Every structure is written in C-alpha cells, then in structure tokens.
Amino acid sequence: MPHARETGLQEAATPVAVDIHHFYNFLLWIVSLVTLFVLVLLIIVVVKFNRKSNPVPSKVSHNTMLEIAWTLVPILILVVIAIPSFRLLFKELELPPADLTIKATGYQWYWHYDYPEASFGFDSNLIAEKDLKAGQLRLLSVDNPLVVPVGETVRVQVTGADVIHSWAMPSFGVKIDAIPGRLNETWFRADKPGTYYGQCSELCGNGHAFMPIEVRVVSKEDYATWVAQAKQEFAANGTGKMQNVAGLVTTAAVQAQ
C-alpha cells in the first residue's frame, strides 16, 4: 500500500509487479551512468575549453573512431534496454488461464464490479472523509472493495460507461484504460494477502480524484465465505448495490497493511 512521503514504487504483490521493480532498478542504473558520463563531459568542456584556458579555439573537422563510438554505444544501450522491456511487455499481455473473472466498469465517478461466475455485482464508492473509520484511508478507502483470493489468476475485463477511465493498481503492475464501447482485458495474481489501493489514472472530469480502487486479497477460504455472504447481501438488497460488504471479511490477513 502507499506510504506517506514514499519515494520509490509501491510494494510489489504480483509476479508482474516484481518484474517491473527489477526492470525499474536496472533502468535506473543505466540512466544514472549515462547522466554521470554526460555531466563529466560537460565539466571537462567547461573547464578545459573556456576562453581563459583555451584562448585560441581548436578546429577539428572529424574523428572517425569517435563518431563510430557515439553511434554504436547508444544503439547498444537501447538494445540492452529493449530486450527486458519487450519480455516484460509480453508477460503483461499474455493472459494465463484464469481462475476468476471480474468485470470493472468505470462511471463518473465510481467503479462497478461484476462477478459473472457468481452472478452478482456492486458499486464501489469513495468513503467520505467524515465517515472514515479507524484504519481507513482518506481518498483511498471505499465502501465496497474488490475482494479476490490469494495466489489465483484473476482476469479483469475493463470498460467505461460514460467517458474514458483507467483502472490502475500499482502494487499489481496493472494499468488499463476503461473505454466506452470497448472491453479491455488484463490480469494479475496477488501472492500476498492484504489491502491494496489504486486510482483512476485517466482524467475523467471534476470528480476524477475521487474514484479510488481498493482490492482486498484474502485466503481462498475467506474468499468463499465472502462470496456466499455477498450473494445474500446482494439478493436482499435488490437495488443493484451491495451494502456493508466491506465489513464481511474481517480476518487479520485482510486487515494487513
């Protein structure tokens, strides 16, 4: 989950997110070395070739070896970056067999989730600051979070009902646009129980900042219990919205931050 004054990426909870972290750290070293190299060259030029140190400008028409080097080295660097980048991209796009399918629909300004295999769905709205309870987070906690089982592959089908939204969960390494009239698809497999937060990541109107995503990853047993209770709550409600489902799963694993 996010932390105050955090400078790095959120903790990775899926294999894809772990690979993204590794690629990020790998890329950071390359960028840092290139930046340092350019900075050293700049300092050398400023010190060695200023008007005082070099009153008579030197005239160099060309340097074949140098020109070959500054052409081949950047190409080599880009290839070194591209290979793991494409591998990671293909891993994100290649959907493995799913254990669970969830449909997420973006509205102005909340999310609606459907569990087609369990035949129920619910709206997920931001909890107003005045209604927050102990342990809930401002601008992140919702009334009805998404609940998924740990260690199982979840396929998420995403669309928009009005304007373009984007379903983004940093700890899962997932970000996919919710476009009206189009069904996009992504996946994740959360290997760590806990509560994770994301947000709509596509500017969708004046309430854009107020449609967070909360996902609770629980044990398979707790998930089965939650589904059974959620079905009853949904049927009893009869409004197309589930009420108080957020409180149905109260295990320590779910409450882990």
Report the range out of 55-59, 94-98, 149-153 with the highest average pLDDT. 149-153
pTM, whole model, 2 decimals? 0.80
Q: How confident is the model at residue 214 (pLDDT cuts 50, 70, 90)?
A: very high
> 145, 136 in Cβ contact below 8 A?
no
Residue 142 pairs with which residues in a beta bridge? Answer: 126
Distance of CA 153 to the CA centre of its chain: 16
How many angstroms separate the most distant Cα atoms in the chain? 89
Q: How many residues does the chain have?
A: 257
Number of domains making up the chain:
2
Q: Does the residue 3 lie in any domain?
A: no
Quote the CA–CA distance of 54 and 57 in Å, as a whole number. Answer: 6
**Do 171 and 244 fall within a single domain?**
yes
Amino acid identity, position 124: S
What pLDDT score does 58 carry? 78
Burial 84-99 (b: 16+ CB within 10 A, else e): eeeebeeebeeeeebe
Q: Which residues touch 19 (CB under 8 Å, ≥6 apart)? A: 88, 91, 173
Q: Does the residue 8 lie in any domain?
A: no
Domain boundary among 93, 126, 153: 93
> 153, 134 in Cβ contact below 8 A?
no
Quote the CA–CA distance of 165 and 145 in Å, as a whole number. Answer: 18
**Do 88 and 70 fall within a single domain?**
yes
What range does the domain containing 222 cover?
Answer: 100-255
Residue 112 pairs with which residues in a beta bridge? Answer: 105, 123
Query: Would you state the structure tokens that stand for residue 202, as one six-digit string?
Result: 């596509």
Kindly report the CATH number assigned to the domain that includes residue 201.
Answer: 2.60.40.420
Quickly count: other Cβ atoms within 10 Å of residue 242's Cβ.
25
Question: Is pLDDT above 80 for 16?
Answer: yes
**Do 105 and 164 fall within a single domain?**
yes
Average pLDDT value for residue range 32-58:
90
| Higher local confidence (pLDDT), 6 or 160 | 160
Q: What is the mean pLDDT of the chain?
A: 88
Q: Which residues touch 222 (CB under 8 Å, ≥6 apart)? A: 249, 251, 253, 254
What pLDDT score does 10 carry? 87
Q: How confident is the model at residue 49 (pLDDT cuts 50, 70, 90)?
A: confident
Q: Where are the alpha helices (DSSP H) in 175-246?
A: 220-237
Q: Does the residue 4 lie in any domain?
A: no
Task: Report residue 115: phi and psi, to 5°.
Answer: -110, 85
> 119, 130 in Cβ contact below 8 A?
no
Question: Is pLDDT above 70 for 240?
Answer: no
Question: Is pLDDT above 70 for 52?
Answer: yes
**Do 76 and 106 fall within a single domain?**
no
> What are the distances in angstroms from CA 52 to CA 41, 43, 44, 46, 96?
18, 15, 14, 11, 65
